[in-house]
């Protein structure tokens, strides 16, 4: 294996030290191929945030250097950032986007939602086809995952070949009958693989992941014991799982109702591409549910991760416009929580029990199979590809470390294993491999339709509002004397008051008067200074009185 030329840089902008927002910059001779453009969903403390994206500031000044964007598969944590990235970088110079047919169908759908479809070249790529991207020859290699058309990406340059595995497991009996291309992986190993960037998600789980095919019979068994309506929640992109739910429903003479925009959209895409077969007449609309008895219905819904605006979450909070859950319904979670989502999922489950639903999760029955390989499959990938260097990716720091320890046990030298971090580039040249100078990385927040840096002050304000509420105070004073000339207006929103509210407001008015008197005694006349004094005095008073720190917004009006 020749190591002439270089350096070759691999810069993760997301996906290391976390599960989600995968984005990797592969750079050689000042040309870039971007592998995956993912996002993740906000955690509970990210008040009001809709989506979390990688910080792609590194790419802003280098749009013309990007030869291509290659997407391994259609899950949100690998594809969801695409329209935001292209909108921010500018579609006039947008690089082409490549991936498998289902992946690109999902990409076109996303771009169409953002009115970018006409401006971006999106191209389907067959497994084994070579795409020339500047100094790289890029090849997609078929893998098995929990979505069709999942691929590893091999990037060949003069310096050597990098393999980004994407998400994978070695499923020997996949639903579509297409196991991973093990022979091509072994061939890359024989040719000499320079660097493996390998999935670490299930690095803490011993053995082999169960086949996706085992979920189908178990779902049918669960359905057969349910007397009322069944609501199944899974990832909308898990098209094989949707097919297995449809098969189980059809076998028991139940109708299917698709709930959730992404569930309907992805099912239609899967049907168009031949990944899903729906028996004639099995799908009905939500408004037709009242035409059938409960024991004839299966609802397939989004919301398996407890996402705030998802269909199942809204059902659990009795806020869904079309489906109202009731006692006797059975909700089946055909998914496991992504690390970090456990709290939201548990809250949703508890709400379902409160309604009177029965809930079945993977703890109760084997109704889910992970799309990520367990420890023995990670070892198999390492033994097949035999990389010169390894950089574990797609995992938190615990799983990355476990991946590295497995590689050492298989004979890869510790100095050839690079446990990286977002923003830390791995540089490879004729002298070997090492970490380079750290680059900017982090998060962008999508808040409504706006995209920007996460401002700690905004998050702090939102946390304060959620915990202690807000107090508006309007004080009207004489411009000449500074004394009060009208009743003070006080509005409380979300401020926890244990005692009588009227008595508390009377105390607040006295505190306002004392504060204004103090400002007058100190000969303070500037409105902004009076407002600051009023803010500080009220904050101190409310804390002593309630042991709370609501946001206080004083307004002083001079007349």
Task: Report how far residue 222's alpha carbon sits from residue 392's, in angstroms, rounded to the nearest whole number.
Answer: 37
By DSSP bridging, strand 330-333 and strand 151-157 are unpaired
Q: What is the CA radius of gyration of the chain?
A: 28
DSSP of 151-187: EEEEEEETTEEEEE--S-B--SS-TTS----HHHHHH
Quick count: other Cβ atoms within 10 Å of Cβ 291?
Answer: 10
Contact 464, 455 (CB under 8 A): no
Within 13 Å and on the Cβ side, how many CA atoms surround 345? 21
Quick count: other Cβ atoms within 10 Å of Cβ 499?
Answer: 10
199 in active site? yes
Contact 549, 543 (CB under 8 A): yes
- Residue 544: both structure tokens together: 């002593």
By DSSP bridging, strand 23-28 and strand 551-558 are unpaired
Catalytic residue chosen out of the listed positions 199, 358, 447, 537: 199
Task: Report how far residue 54's alpha carbon sits from residue 47's, in angstroms, rounded to the nearest whole number.
Answer: 18
Strand partners, 98: 70, 123
- Residue 296: both structure tokens together: 């004839």
Q: Which long-range contacts (CB under 8 A, 24 or more apart) does 339-344 make?
A: 339/19, 339/396, 340/19, 340/43, 341/41, 341/305, 341/306, 343/44, 343/306, 344/44, 344/305, 344/306, 344/307, 344/308, 344/313
Q: Which helix (H) or strand (E) holds 346?
A: helix 342-355
Catalytic residue chosen out of the listed positions 372, 394, 403, 488: 372
Task: Report how far residue 80's alpha carbon sits from residue 247's, in angstroms, rounded to the nearest whole number.
Answer: 29
**CB neighbours of 457 closer than 8 A, spacing ≥ 6?**
none
372 in active site? yes
- Catalytic residue positions? 199, 372
């Amino acid at each position: 294996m020749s190591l002439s030329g270089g350096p070759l840089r691999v810069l993760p902008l997301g996906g290391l030290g976390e599960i989600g927002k995968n984005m990797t910059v592969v750079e050689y001779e000042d040309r870039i191929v971007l592998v995956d453009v993912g996002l993740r969903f906000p955690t509970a403390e990210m008040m009001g945030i809709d989506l979390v994206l990688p910080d792609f500031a590194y790419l802003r000044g280098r749009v013309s250097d990007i030869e291509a964007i290659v997407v391994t598969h259609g899950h949100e944590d690998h594809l969801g950032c695409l329209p935001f990235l292209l909108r921010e970088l500018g579609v006039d110079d947008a690089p082409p986007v490549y991936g498998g047919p289902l992946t690109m169908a999902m990409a076109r759908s996303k771009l169409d939602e953002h009115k970018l479809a006409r401006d971006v070249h999106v191209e389907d790529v067959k497994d084994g086809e070579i795409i020339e991207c500047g100094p790289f020859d890029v090849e997609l290699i078929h893998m098995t995952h929990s979505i069709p058309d999942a691929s590893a990406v091999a990037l060949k340059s003069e310096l050597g070949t990098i393999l980004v595995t994407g998400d994978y497991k070695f499923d020997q009996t996949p639903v579509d009958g297409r196991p991973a291309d093990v022979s091509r992986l072994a061939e890359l190993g024989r040719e000499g693989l320079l660097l493996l960037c390998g999935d670490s998600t299930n690095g803490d789980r011993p053995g082999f992941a169960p086949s996706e095919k085992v979920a189908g019979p178990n779902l049918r068994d669960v359905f057969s014991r349910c007397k009322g309506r069944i609501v199944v929640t899974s990832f909308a992109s898990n098209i094989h799982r949707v097919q297995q739910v449809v098969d189980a429903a059809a076998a028991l003479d139940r109708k299917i109702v698709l709930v959730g925009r992404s569930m309907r959209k992805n099912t239609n895409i899967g049907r168009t591409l031949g990944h899903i077969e729906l028996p004639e007449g099995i799908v009905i609309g939500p408004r037709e549910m009242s035409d059938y008895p409960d024991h004839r219905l299966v609802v397939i819904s989004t919301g398996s991760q407890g996402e705030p605006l998802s269909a199942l979450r809204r059902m659990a909070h009795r806020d869904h416009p079309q489906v109202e859950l009731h006692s006797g319904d059975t909700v089946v979670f055909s998914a496991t929580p992504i690390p970090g989502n456990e709290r939201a999922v548990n809250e949703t489950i508890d709400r379902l029990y409160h309604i009177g639903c029965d809930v079945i999760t993977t703890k109760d029955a084997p109704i889910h199979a992970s799309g990520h390989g367990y420890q023995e499959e990670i070892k198999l990938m390492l033994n097949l590809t035999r990389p010169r260097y390894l950089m574990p990716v797609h995992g938190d720091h615990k799983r990355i470390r476990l991946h590295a320890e497995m590689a050492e046990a298989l004979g890869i030298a510790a100095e050839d294993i690079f446990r990286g971090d977002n923003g830390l580039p791995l540089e490879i040249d004729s002298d070997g491999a090492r970490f380079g100078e750290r680059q900017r990385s982090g998060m962008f927040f999508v808040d409504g339709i706006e995209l920007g840096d996460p401002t700690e002050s905004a998050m702090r304000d939102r946390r304060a509002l959620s915990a202690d509420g807000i107090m508006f105070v309007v004080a009207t004073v004489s411009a000449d004397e500074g004394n009060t000339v009208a009743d003070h207006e006080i509005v409380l929103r979300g401020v926890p008051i244990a005692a009588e509210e009227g008595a508390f407001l009377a105390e607040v008015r006295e505190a306002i008067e004392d504060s204004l008197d103090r400002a007058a005694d100190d000969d303070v006349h500037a409105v902004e200074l009076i407002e600051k004094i009023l803010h500080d005095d009220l904050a101190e008073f409310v804390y002593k009185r309630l042991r709370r720190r609501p946001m206080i917004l004083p307004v002083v009006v001079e007349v």
